[in-house]
Amino acid sequence: MAKPNTIYKTIILYLLDRSECALSNLQISDFFLQEGFANYFKVQSILAELIRLGLINEQVTHENTQYTISEKGQETLSFSKDKLNHDLKNDIRLFFEQNQMSFKLENSVFSDYRRIGPESYQVDLHIQDDGRDQLALQINVHTKEQAEAICNNWKNSSDEVFALLMDTLLK
């Protein structure tokens, strides 16, 4: 039987391979916690190891970390997915059946900011559908506080901003 860490790595690769979108740190951790496989700190350790090995890609923003499987991870999974028994694969399938739509919604609106000068920050705002930008907006602001406020308000205001923008531009 394979070591637990090997199984955990394979589970994460399998989750990312089966998902229709990038998965957040919280979404991956929730699967492990719900199934009682490992605690949060163990999951973080396994994710770090998968990143170090180049098996998954990590995208970090100020509010979230999302993961996708890399090409190397897909190759590795093709050799190791038979280590996952049928019941576990079924649990993963059910996990996605119950959560895939909410995952897509949670991950379709995101924002980030970065410092671009001594008193200048660039805020990047996105609305995606099936991994493609429906709206990508960059705003330059003067303070970190302004950048953080825009990012924090984006998730709740993005629909309204998008609708207003479309209405205004399609007149």
- Residue 89 maps to which CATH number? 1.10.10.10
Query: In this structure, are 78 and 67 located in the same domain?
Result: yes
Provide the pLDDT for residue 125. Answer: 94
Read off the pLDDT of each residue in 90-101 and give the average, rounded to a whole number.
Answer: 90
Query: In this structure, are 37 and 76 located in the same domain?
Result: yes
Provide the pLDDT for residue 108. Answer: 85
pLDDT band at 100 (very low <50, low <70, confident <90, very high): confident
- pTM for the model stands at 0.77
Read off the pLDDT of each residue in 82-107 and give the average, rounded to a whole number.
Answer: 88
Which residue carries 């576990």 as its tokens? 88
Provide the pLDDT for residue 2. Answer: 59
Distance CA(114)–CA(147), nearest Å, equals 8
The helix/strand/coil state of 130 is coil
Please answer whether residues 13 and 55 qualify as being in contact, where contact means their C-beta atoms are separated by less than 8 angstroms.
yes
Query: In this structure, are 73 and 13 located in the same domain?
Result: yes
Domain boundary pick from 64, 89, 107: 107
106-143 b/e (C-beta count within 10 Å ≥ 16 → b): bbbbbbbbeeeeeeebebbbbbbeeeeeeeebeeebee
The 10s digit of each residue's pLDDT in 130-158 is: 778 899 999 999 999 999 999 999 988 99
> Could you tell me the two tokens for 148?
């953080």
Distance CA(32)–CA(53), nearest Å, equals 21
For 141, the domain range is 108-169
- Helix (H) / strand (E) element for 158: namely helix 144-169
By mean pLDDT, which of 37-51, 80-94, 100-114 is the weakest?
Answer: 100-114
